[in-house]
Structure 1
Amino acid sequence: MKNNYKILTDDNYGKIALIFKSLLVGMAAGGVVVMYRITLTYAEEFAFGMYGFMRENLHMIPVLLAGLCLAAYFVGFLVSKNNMISGSGIPQLKGILGGYFAKRKNWLHILCSKFVGGAIAISAGLSLGREGPSIQLGASIAEGIGKKVGKSRLERKILMASGASAGLAAAFNAPMAGVVFALEEIFKYFSPVILLSTMSAAVAADFLSKEVFGIAPVFEFEVTRAIPLRDYWMLILLGIIMGIMGAFYNYALLKTQKLYGKMKFLNERTRPIIPFMMAGILGLAFPVVLGGGHRIIEELTLQNGIWFISIIFILKFIFSAVSFGSGTPGGIFFPLLVLGASVGAIFAGISINYFGIESDFFYNFVILAMAGYFTAIVRAPITGIVLIMEMTGSFTHMLSLTVVAVTAYVAADLLKSPPIYDALLENLIKKEHVDSEREHSRKILIEIVVQHGSEFEDCHVRAIEWPEKILLVGVKRGEREIIPKGGTEIKAGDYLFILADVSGEARTREMLNAMNEQI
């Protein structure tokens, strides 16, 4: 506990030491993710080349289908041996940092299985992305390093979050998005220690990634000027549409998972056969929807027409849900960005053809729709805005991106659509039948930031109905460290340091977060 508290409150040696450890994590995570990106690049090229060959040699189709079945079964075998590698890996990471999943394979097993499983899935052409696995790979290598250099349990968790930040940074050449993602989606609060650690790791990983892949942004859209203010009513309309579409995406994805679960003739080892077979069919008939979606981006032009892009969107939507719902290792970041870009292209085509919007703004709507779709699905608007700016290399869309993202967020929230990673984590916890880590003698220090309007604000310590088996051991207000007493009054913005049993960490976090929500 002493080491945990020192990490969070020490302004000198502890923070500096943690920054250097985070730099080490960033370089290691960046190296692994760079290798993963290179592997997936060749894997995707292999997929398109393989299906191109098969279209010219139709008599080989039985061999193709047999090979896909074997590959699918092997991926299913990997998942059955280690369920922590299923899907994107982000819900698993959030669960581990939240106190769940104590009984899991070690970090090296997760890293190797995720790497191999994700590469095979992309080699077959499944509609999955690299970012979720990259985040989990970064966190896994960070966990391994943390076991060697981490002084406490809390420091190891901070290093894991730093590894996750580094993974996203290296996956998309987006260091700031990696930092914001760790703060907004993983921790859901701001802490100077966490900020410094995640930023150090993300910058180190991004530097390594840019040394290998160059400094060019992931998307190179031709955008000549920003949308004028007189047309911002179109952005509100676009945000509403993206919010509705994002809510439907979450609904479809969760329903697909449930549908797989109801198929009693399938198990974890055979479930991936369905998306692998679907990849085979689409690879022969409509290959543009294969993989993460890089080929689709090339098709998003005004000349291709609304109906053709609509067909691409429908097929990609269904294929993505079938691929991810099966539990095959792979992420949803890039496919959902491509889906959002497709909706943006359709919206732009309609706006230009029927509402008199200038054709120069076609790609503006494509970019804005990606941020709106991401925000509606993940419910992380700041991450969406920063991610799109870094991926497009354009920082002139800040205002318009914010309008679309906020509108999409509100629309999805009004539809009561749950954030996708929270919903996936909840399903995973139910499936695994876990409550929390089962260590009874060890302690964990939990840090929370008091929100405005929460049960904690302007209350004395003695007046708060604290959960059982916890102890408030410290309060930090600005640069002041306060030893809490019964008469200590808690203010909004205070950092509370709470000692809890490891065995009840997950439940304690849930109760504290519920108390800390705005009333």
Structure 2
Amino acid sequence: MVTELERKIKKENIKRLRKKRRREKASSAKKNLERKDTFKYVLLAEGLVVGVATGFLIAFFRMILDYGDKLRNNLIEFASQGLENVIIFFVILAALSLVVTYIVKKEPYCAGSGIPQVKGELKGQIETVWYKLIIAKFVGGVLAIGGGLALGREGPSIQLGAMVGKGFARTTGRLLTEERMLMSCGAGAGLAAAFGAPLAGVIFSLEELHKNFSTEVLLTTMAATVSADFVVRNILGLEPVFDFHITEYLPLANYWMVIVLGVVLGVFGVLYNNTINAMQNLLEKIPFKEGRVGIAFLCVGFLAFTYPIILGSGHELVGEVAMGEMAVITLLIILLSKFAFSTLSFSSGVPGGIFLPLLVLGALTGGTFGKIMSDLFGMNQSLIAAFVVLGMTGCFASIVRAPITGVILITEMTGDFRSLLAISIVSLVAYTVADMLGGVPVYEQLLNRMLKKEIGSNEENQVKRRKVIFEAEIYYGSYMDGEKVEKLNLPSGSLIVSVERDGKELIPYGQTVLYGGDKLSILCDNNDIIDAEEVIEDICKTIFREE
């Protein structure tokens, strides 16, 4: 029998234990809040480290690619001196083809630009080994781009930067949420280092990759992009990627031409993305990867002796087009040839991006349009440079569907803010037209294709289940503006851990009412993050709510 005294003692012990647990919880909560207060400064320092490391890596990458371009030109000159030299040249191309194919087979996620892979990993859809991918992407990218394929260095630079961020997180034992933030800032640093455009790197990371404009991500990415750009400029100098200047600006009375060009570029962007998809389908009918890559390098050999200006990324073409000295027929031939070779090169599945080639295609389209307008309306030839800039911006907006990144990128690269209104208009029109035509953003299209091919129905088993915290914002006028937390139908096992409102943190319950401007911190399984983001997009960010 339990005596009355024993019951009292047990009751007192339970009270003391509960008080102790409450003190422990309060202490733990205080520590978590203190960590949150210092977390953004820790991320800022980590962003600087990732940015510096990315800057050195991309600077070396660019140096090797520049050397590869010079070596390729010397080989073409060597091959033009006799039949034996031609045979040697094609043997070298065959060797490059086999080596690149071997690299892609050993590390499949190094294929293509790398941006879809980064997006997929940030969403928890794929998992990569960071150090293997850095080696494969670096070597494969140098061989493919240096070998003359119409590919760009920017996509690989973004993936390399993301892997630097992941490597730092893994070697220092960071949590998955922090790892993904560092991957985002590393990707932005890669773009900044490749283009010399730190602000564009920040916006690209926020708009295209992280899909979140939180203070932590913004500051971390800015620290990474600025430090990466500083390192690259100290190593490679201050020379811009596109070496031309706008000397005359389009009069406001002729801004109708900007709208027409935007429509043309919107259609062009959808056509380009569809052609990429069709070319990939066509080449996949070849049973061996060696055959697909071999066709691309065979075209390099053919173009080397017939039309060498088409080889490589083509960034030097932009300056030549901006001078306005090429005839319309010449511009059209170069545009069509570059379009065909660019889609073939990328669809072959070798490491290399379409970021810079699509800007070159935009410059050619804008230059051709400007030349036609100049001939029809008697405008000054110096205006063609302005149309080249408009073409690059609109093409980027229609193909990638990241209009803000495009505007900031081109503005930074040209250093000219007087064209900001015109490039904003062409970007908006091109984006809208491409969206109305039902085109899919190129990196979403490539990611979906990669997941269908590489992961398929085994997606759940491919990526180890880990918990991740991501942030979301309640938009004013959305369904959840004024609704209770319990109405937020997140995937099973997901939890809203905090709500930030007017700079203060709230601990939410089912009956907590959410309002526009609230920032949510959501804990979920990494395999559920796609479903969770779809819910957020539908009822937290869509401003047209049904009554």
TM over 0.5: yes
For 1:81, the equivalent position in structure 2 comes to 106
The count of residues paired between Structure 1 and Structure 2 equals 514
- Which of 52, 55, 65 is the equivalent residue of 2:90? 65
Alignment of structure 1 residues 201-240 onto 2, 5 Å: 201-240=224-263
CA distance in 2 between counterparts of 1:81 and 1:456 reads: 47
Q: Does 1:124 align with 2:137?
A: no
Contact 1:436-1:507 at 8 Å conserved across structures: no
Structure 1 window deviating more from structure 2 (431-440 vs 236-245): it is 431-440
For 2:485, the equivalent position in structure 1 comes to 461
Contact 1:7-1:155 at 8 Å conserved across structures: no
Contact 1:98-1:509 at 8 Å conserved across structures: no
CA distance in 2 between counterparts of 1:446 and 1:11 reads: 14
Query: CA 1:62/1:453 → structure 2, altered by over 3 Å: closer, same or farther?
Result: farther
Query: CA 1:439/1:432 → structure 2, altered by over 3 Å: closer, same or farther?
Result: closer
Matched position secondary structure for 2:523: strand
For 2:279, the equivalent position in structure 1 comes to 256
How far the C-alpha of 1:131 sits from its partner, in A, is 0.3
2:272 maps to a residue whose letter is Y
Query: CA 1:442/1:290 → structure 2, altered by over 3 Å: closer, same or farther?
Result: closer
- Which of 338, 357, 363 is the equivalent residue of 1:316? 338
CA distance in 1 between counterparts of 2:521 and 2:244 reads: 46
Q: Does 1:46 align with 2:68?
A: no
- Which of 40, 47, 50 is the equivalent residue of 1:22? 47
Matched position secondary structure for 2:459: coil
Contact 1:128-1:335 at 8 Å conserved across structures: yes
1:335 maps to a residue whose letter is P
For 1:374, the equivalent position in structure 2 comes to 396
How far the C-alpha of 1:312 sits from its partner, in A, is 0.6
CA distance in 1 between counterparts of 2:48 and 2:246 reads: 35
For 1:278, the equivalent position in structure 2 comes to 299
Contact 2:242-2:319 at 8 Å conserved across structures: no
1:62 maps to a residue whose letter is I
For 2:525, the equivalent position in structure 1 comes to 501
Contact 2:244-2:319 at 8 Å conserved across structures: no
Q: Does 1:155 align with 2:191?
A: no
- Which of 488, 500, 507 is the equivalent residue of 1:476? 500
CA distance in 2 between counterparts of 1:285 and 1:7 reads: 65
Matched position secondary structure for 2:60: helix
Contact 2:124-2:463 at 8 Å conserved across structures: no
Structure 1 window deviating more from structure 2 (52-61 vs 9-18): it is 9-18
The unaligned stretches of length 5 or more in structure 1 are none
Structure 1 window deviating more from structure 2 (354-363 vs 167-176): it is 354-363
Contact 1:457-1:491 at 8 Å conserved across structures: yes
% identity of equivalent residues: 39
CA distance in 1 between counterparts of 2:93 and 2:42 reads: 48
- Which of 288, 310, 328 is the equivalent residue of 1:289? 310
Contact 1:344-1:369 at 8 Å conserved across structures: yes
Structure 1 window deviating more from structure 2 (441-450 vs 489-498): it is 441-450
Query: CA 1:378/1:437 → structure 2, altered by over 3 Å: closer, same or farther?
Result: farther
Q: Does 1:418 align with 2:440?
A: yes
CA distance in 2 between counterparts of 1:491 and 1:356 reads: 56
CA distance in 2 between counterparts of 1:442 and 1:124 reads: 40
For 2:365, the equivalent position in structure 1 comes to 343
How far the C-alpha of 1:16 sits from its partner, in A, is 1.0
1:218-237 Cα offsets, whole Å, 9 max, x none, are 22223123222111111111
Looking at both structures, which has the greater relative contact order when contacts are Cα pairs under 8 Å and sequence separation is at least 6? Answer: 1
Q: Does 1:144 align with 2:156?
A: no
1:293 maps to a residue whose letter is G
For 2:188, the equivalent position in structure 1 comes to 165
From the CA coordinates, give the structure whose radius of gyration is larger: 2
Contact 1:461-1:490 at 8 Å conserved across structures: yes
Matched position secondary structure for 1:272: helix
CA distance in 2 between counterparts of 1:475 and 1:391 reads: 39
For 2:513, the equivalent position in structure 1 comes to 489
2:108 maps to a residue whose letter is N
Q: TM-score, normalised by structure 1?
A: 0.94
CA distance in 2 between counterparts of 1:437 and 1:95 reads: 15
Query: CA 1:159/1:227 → structure 2, altered by over 3 Å: closer, same or farther?
Result: same
Structure 1 window deviating more from structure 2 (297-306 vs 241-250): it is 297-306
Matched position secondary structure for 2:416: coil
Query: CA 1:66/1:453 → structure 2, altered by over 3 Å: closer, same or farther?
Result: farther
Matched position secondary structure for 1:249: helix
1:57-113 Cα offsets, whole Å, 9 max, x none, are 2332222222212211211111111111000000000000100113x3x21110011
1:114-155 Cα offsets, whole Å, 9 max, x none, are 000011112220000000000111111111111133531111
Matched position secondary structure for 1:100: coil
For 1:385, the equivalent position in structure 2 comes to 407
Matched position secondary structure for 1:490: coil
Alignment of structure 1 residues 106-125 onto 2, 5 Å: 106-125=129-148
CA distance in 1 between counterparts of 2:410 and 2:239 reads: 14
1:383-425 Cα offsets, whole Å, 9 max, x none, are 0011111111222211111011001000101111111001111
CA distance in 2 between counterparts of 1:421 and 1:9 reads: 39
Structure 1 window deviating more from structure 2 (435-444 vs 401-410): it is 435-444
1:49 maps to a residue whose letter is N
CA distance in 1 between counterparts of 2:535 and 2:459 reads: 13
CA distance in 2 between counterparts of 1:242 and 1:7 reads: 50
Query: CA 1:447/1:313 → structure 2, altered by over 3 Å: closer, same or farther?
Result: same
